[in-house]
Structure 1
Amino acid sequence: MSAVDLIEVWRGDLREGVHQGHAVICDAKGIVQSWGDPQAIIYPRSSCKMLQALPLIESGAADAAGLTTQQLALACASHNGAAIHTQRVGQWLDDLGLAEPDLRCGSHMPQDREANRALTCTDSKPCQLHNNCSGKHAGFLTLNKHLGGGSEYVEVDHPVQKAVRQAFEEVTGETSPGFGIDGCSAPNFATSLAGLGRAMAFFATADQRDDTRSRAAARLTQAMMAHPELVAGEGRACTAIMRAAKGAAAVKTGAEAVFVGILPEKGLGIALKILDGGTRASEAAITALLVRLGVLDSGDPVVGRYLTDPQKNWRGFETGELRLAPGFAN
């Protein structure tokens, strides 16, 4: 089974482009609905940060360190590098008796406009706290301190990553066929889209169970929904969509146009992948599925922003629109 058309790009009366991909909706029993190939193997990239954070809680490391819901949200974040992110991660490291050089995520300019401008105008360089994955890495360091591992916690055979892989495979229900190195230098374990969807359904139904892992999953989901501004940042789809969902969904994007959704009230998980890596299309597709499932109102401004508003040029003229491909709209 191959990828299918999901999001179309129209200009005038011509379909100018199309984004193909795969998508699944899962419940606790398995796939409820799918488009494309549910067995397509993907790297979930940052969409799986909640899975990577499970050992942080279920090991007891989070409680031993007294982590707050804000820090748990940051452990799942791909943040903008705004002050609300970097200051909290910096304090987190300080509380651990560690510092920015202990991170292994690398540095890049922050996406947050104010933080970016401050660095640019002072000719300052970004540090690893600005890395969008610094919260996840602070979580890794917290787990590492609890486990007593060595400093190179991103190596695939390190106790931290062994714990991550075990949790990842158990929650996806699949043995990972391999891994790639993510932008933040941590291993990113591959899985099928169906496996990723099953994992999201596990998170969505976690509050219905009382085992250690389910309690951990429920805490991470609640932390994300309670602090959407920490999971991404102002102007970002994850933050905007979670605010609009008002506690009905936790969503998370990943590089190369992966997007997942956790819907606790409905007991459903969503996973999707746009083949060409187009973020515009993954944001449109997750929005469409959340509208379909009744989590977002079709008239909400967020739905307009990511899906239904007309496309405009630099003079404000309407030039086209995004549309759901016929097979995805039905």
Structure 2
Amino acid sequence: MTDSHDHTAHGLHAHAAEGAPANPVLAEIWRGDILECSHRGAVAVCNAAGELVAAWGHVERVHLPRSACKMIQALPLVDSGAADAAGLDDRHLALACASHGGAEIHTRLVADWLAGIGLDAGALGCGVMAPDDAEMRKALRAQGAEPTPLHHMCSGKHTGFLTLARHLGADRGEPDYLDPASPVQQGVRDALAEVSDEEPQGPAIDGCSAPNFGLTLKGMATAMARFADPAARLTGRRAEAASRLAAAMAAHPLLIGYKASSATLLTEASAGATATKSGAEGGFVAILPEKGLGVAVKVDDGGDRGAAAAMAAVLARLGLLDRESPAYRATAEAPIRNFRGTLCGHVCPGPALM
């Protein structure tokens, strides 16, 4: 593995230092024998001490992790005692970390969870989105029904926020728990700072209206390593919470995503050895308990399939994913078919990761 990273100053709008080399190509899209698209980006692999074990590209640029940091956003839910007070089990914790597909297994659990804390879908501040799950879309059409906030991929995370708000006595209405100054979001910010060893930047506002704080890719990989090996740097309730959340994600891959999602496929393929999570605009992270490492990927152009291919390639290099497995072939070597089903091309890892 090569180590190619910079040490420049950062802000949310930071770019490469003038004259610095471009990030390496992490994934390629081929159509026939012609290279159609290249996805450049960076990868950081860190241990719980915050040391870079391997790196490709500019891993100290600040980025927005988006949904890739949901397990960090869920830390205060668990270490505050709110999860136990609400009677939550591993399924709920996995859903709090999820970008789910809006299938019945997701919406039913969210609805029951909300009812358990005396709320309903109207309390969710995530907005409404159509479900990714094809069966749920078909069922809604058959019923002549519209999607609700329950179908939003972030409804589990928001239900976790609401559970924490109620536990803290901060439930003064739906908008409050999304306010960056609220006890809920200040708890999230403090958790981000502790697990990353960085001062979170921002916030910016995510697609689900929650605050999203900027970290370097190295900081994100460090955070994931501390979920992989909590006892190395975290203590007390926070260490226990990180361990519980990582285990819940690994145990319930269908709850953290959906059948065809890359995070679900890669987590399933590891048989509990890893927990992976994607984020919007080309972000992807992995928690590797067996190795005590964390991985963070960011594709410069925001291409999600490029990020998935890069993550699969890194996991294969680390010996955690078989290159002959269906999950690897569906992500790192994904076929491209046209509307007639004709095989037209394929995705593959870029030269830097081969």
Residue equivalent to 1:302:
327
Query: 1:32 aligns to what?
Result: 53
- State how far apart, in whole Å, the 1-side matches of 2:165 and 2:339 are: 49
Once residues 251 and 225 of structure 2 are traced to their aligned partners in structure 1, the CA distance between those partners, rounded to angstroms, is: 19
Residue type of the alignment partner of 1:154? L
Q: How far is the alpha carbon of 1:300 from its aligned partner?
A: 0.4
Q: How far, CA to CA, are the matches of 1:115 and 1:210 in structure 2? A: 42
Query: Is 1:211 matched with 2:236?
Result: yes
5+ residue gaps, structure 2: 1-19
Deviation of 1:310 after TM superposition, in Å, equals 4.3
Aligned to 2:31: 11
For the residues of structure 2 that align with 1:302 and 1:261, how far apart are their CA atoms?
A: 15
What residue number does 1:266 align with? Answer: 291
Shift of 1:171: 0.9
In structure 2, the residue matched to 1:311 is 336
- Provide TM-score, normalisation by structure 2: 0.90
* Residue 348 (structure 2) pairs with residue 323 (structure 1): yes
Cα offsets for 1:256-313 (capped at 9, x unmatched): 0100000000111000011111111111111111111111111101111112254344
1:161 equivalent among 161, 175, 185:
185
Q: Is 1:278–2:281 an aligned residue pair?
A: no
Residue in structure 2 matched with residue 172 of structure 1 by the alignment: 196
Paired letter, 2:203: F
Which of residues 231, 236, 239 in structure 1 aligns to 2:264? Answer: 239
In the TM superposition, what is the alpha-carbon distance from 1:10 to its structure 2 partner? 2.2
Following TM superposition, by how much is the alpha carbon of 1:119 offset from its aligned partner in structure 2, in angstroms?
Answer: 1.4
Flag the 1:212–1:44 CA change in 2: closer, same or farther, 3 A: same
Contact 2:42 2:55 (C-alpha < 8 Å) held by counterparts:
yes
Equivalent runs, 1:65-76 vs 2, <5 Å: 65-76=86-97
Pairs within 5 Å for 1:82-93: 82-93=103-114
Distance 2:189 2:270 in 1: 30
Cα distance in 1 between the residues matched to 2:67 and 2:41: 18
Give the letter aligned to residue 89 of structure 2: T
Q: What RMSD, in angstroms, separates the aligned Cα atoms of the two structures?
A: 1.4
Q: Bigger shift: 205-214 or 294-303?
A: 205-214
Q: What is the rounded CA distance, in whole Å, between the counterparts of 1:83 and 1:278 in structure 2? A: 28
User: What displacement does 1:320 show?
Assistant: 2.8
**Structure 1 residue 314 displacement after superposition:** 4.1
Deviations 1:59-92 (A, max 9, x none): 1111111111100000000100111000000000
Partner of 1:53: 74
Shift of 1:319: 3.0
Matched residue SS, 1:169: helix
- Please say if 1:20 is aligned against 2:29: no
| SS of aligned partner of 2:291 | coil
Output the TM-score relative to the length of structure 1. 0.96
- Aligned counterpart in structure 2 of residue 229 of structure 1, from 233, 236, 254: 254
Confirm or deny that 1:120 pairs with 2:141. Answer: yes
How many residue pairs were aligned?
A: 329
Q: Distance in 1 between matches of 2:235 and 2:106?
A: 31
